[in-house]
Amino acid sequence: MLRTDLIIINPEIADSTPAFTGTWVSISRLVSYLGASHPLIEFLLDYPTVEKGQIKRVPNAAPAALLPIHLRVELAHEIAA
């Protein structure tokens, strides 16, 4: 399991699909909405547990959270702190 203040990957939440921490909403759901040209406000209304601030931070946080474990040395230290 990986958990940051933004993204969680847990087999018990969204079948290990990266999701917004504190929710059951997967990051891929956001990507699907935006890819289908739905406005961000529609996503926020449909998934009120996700905050706009979380969405703004995804592009920077997702690559680090999705790195293989052996490449996450620095991230693991940050999470433990």
Q: What is the mean pLDDT of residues 3-26?
A: 82
In angstroms, the CA 26 to CA 17 distance is 6
Does residue 42 have a pLDDT over 60? yes
Does residue 22 have a pLDDT over 60? yes
Give me the pLDDT at residue 7, please.
82
Does residue 19 have a pLDDT over 80? yes
Q: Domain count of the chain?
A: 1
CATH number, domain with residue 7: 1.10.10.10
Which structural domain range is residue 35 located in?
2-80
Higher-scoring residue by pLDDT: 81, 5: 5
- DSSP letter for each residue of 10-78: BTTBGGG--EETTSS-BHHHHHHHHHTT--HHHHHHH-TTS-HHHHHHHHHHHHHHTS-GGG-HHHHHH
Q: What is the mean pLDDT of residues 54-60?
A: 81
